[in-house]
């Protein structure tokens, strides 16, 4: 996985330093503005962020697919606005929303067969 051709919004679930290195690893969850059909039940790992909640985040409605988790270095290659955090953070999630995401991640931890780990900092790779 390499940096994409355009900026995208991600949900940053965790940031850690690995193996005493100076570079931090960001655990980010995939987001998409492609809407889930409201007639279909949401699968485990998919979180709908609709109208009012999305508007509070200055976004149009989107979904977080916590089944797709990317581990990438916290570098300007992946985060071009890293040196200007006032422009990089779109929204700081409320405690209630963070708890919702953490609960989904805890449920997914019991179902690793549903999770796709991506990125150059994938923790399954040896260092």
Q: Residue 113: inside a domain, yes or no?
A: yes
pLDDT of residue 117 exceeding 90: yes
Tell me the per-residue pLDDT of 10-24, one tens digit each, with 9 for 90 and over: 888 988 887 777 778
Task: Tell me the C-alpha distance between 3 and 79, whole Å.
Answer: 8
Q: Residue 49: inside a domain, yes or no?
A: yes
Tell me the per-residue pLDDT of 43-98, one tens digit each, with 9 for 90 and over: 999 999 988 988 988 889 999 999 999 999 888 888 888 888 777 788 888 999 99
Q: Residue 43: inside a domain, yes or no?
A: yes
Cβ–Cβ < 8 Å for 61, 46: no
> Per the structure, how many domains does the chain have?
1
Exposure string (b/e) for 74-105, b if CB count within 10 Å is 16 or more? Answer: beeebbeeeeeeeeeeeeeeeeebeeebeebb
Q: Residue 127: inside a domain, yes or no?
A: no
- Look up the domain containing 80 and give its range: 11-118
pLDDT of residue 112 exceeding 80: yes
Q: Residue 15: inside a domain, yes or no?
A: yes
């Amino acid at each position: 996985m390499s940096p994409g051709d355009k900026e995208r919004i991600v949900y940053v679930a965790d940031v850690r330093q690995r193996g005493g290195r100076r570079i931090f690893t960001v655990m980010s969850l995939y987001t998409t503005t492609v809407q889930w059909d409201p007639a279909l039940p949401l699968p485990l790992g998919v979180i709908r962020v609709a109208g009012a909640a999305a508007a509070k985040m200055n976004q149009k409605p989107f979904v977080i697919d916590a089944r797709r988790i990317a581990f990438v270095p916290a570098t300007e290659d992946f985060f071009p606005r890293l040196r200007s955090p006032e422009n990089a953070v779109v929204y700081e999630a409320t405690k209630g929303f963070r708890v919702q995401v953490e609960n989904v991640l805890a449920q997914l931890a019991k179902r690793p067969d549903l999770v796709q780990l991506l990125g150059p900092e994938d923790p399954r790779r040896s260092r």
